[in-house]
Copies of this chain bind each other. A is one copy, B any other.
């Protein structure tokens, strides 16, 4: 059994990671096609299945594609996803385009796999921050019934793609001889392209762009996608999304309360048994630890000290892997074609 697979957005940060993961997992590739914007078309990319020339997405014929993984942004998914579906492909889309469409399942592998069954050709991959959080939250929810959650993120720059990583690198370099001055607030603005404020030696308490009621699109994703994945339309979520000067790995601090009190030992037991999760009790898991790993790392599991009965914890995961490429591939593996 083999699958003819198209990777759309093959030259981006997530696309490259997807190629690594397909090889690591011995994904049963039949024909592999790589697609991207006209700018990257014609490039030859080395893969575990030989060199593959990148096709121009605008021109590419989806005929014969069984599964297409889209990681090329919402506007390309909107423009091209439906025509791939019409041509018979199952599209697993990593953009925000179809996530909240009630006909499209939004699936975290190992969390709500059952939702895959109802797909009509399109399957949505959740936002990277939500994905990491769900890996830690869903097992506790299943055990005790999640009621409310305050979630605060520490999101790496690769969440903005390769250009986010380049901007952090450039600014670290520009600030290199300026570090004592940074401490006194005497610094020269390095100029920004990707972010609204410098990210080198800084944190930016606004990830995404502001939309409704002062919350950013990233923050609304955390609210709405969590509700859809957990099938809890009334779930109370307070989201704050913050960018930090880290290359890869999204961290989240979460405070959660449930229908019944949950104590630390039960929470640790549940999380330790959850697929795709590793509980670190002795060393606090950091973004650097999560980079390159498939599992979501959970640490600092504590009983709440304010409003009793809840759990405070920290979760961190590789936003390019479980947060994006890995999950799309896990979904592809679990499809009944």
Contact = CB atoms under 8 A, between A and B. Distances in A.
Interface of A: 148-150, 152, 154, 158, 165, 169, 172, 179, 182-187, 196-198, 201-206, 213-215, 223, 235-240, 242, 244-248, 251, 253, 255, 264, 283-293, 299-307, 310, 312, 314, 316, 318, 320
A205 B246 contact: no
Nearest to A248: B183
Contact of A246 (B169, B196, B203, B314): B203
Contacts of A235: 306
A246 B201 contact: yes
A291 B185 contact: yes
Nearest to A302: B214
A123 to B, nearest CB: 27
Contacts of A246: 201-203, 245
A235 B307 CA distance: 9
A235 B215 CA distance: 27
23 contacts: A148-B306, A154-B244, A165-B183, A172-B172, A182-B288, A182-B291, A183-B320, A197-B286, A198-B288, A201-B246, A202-B246, A203-B244, A203-B286, A214-B302, A214-B303, A223-B305, A235-B306, A236-B307, A237-B306, A240-B253, A240-B300, A244-B244, A244-B245
A246 B242 CA distance: 14
Contacts of A240: 152, 253, 255, 300, 312, 314
A283 B197 contact: yes
B318 A205 contact: no
A93 to B, nearest CB: 23
A236 B202 contact: no
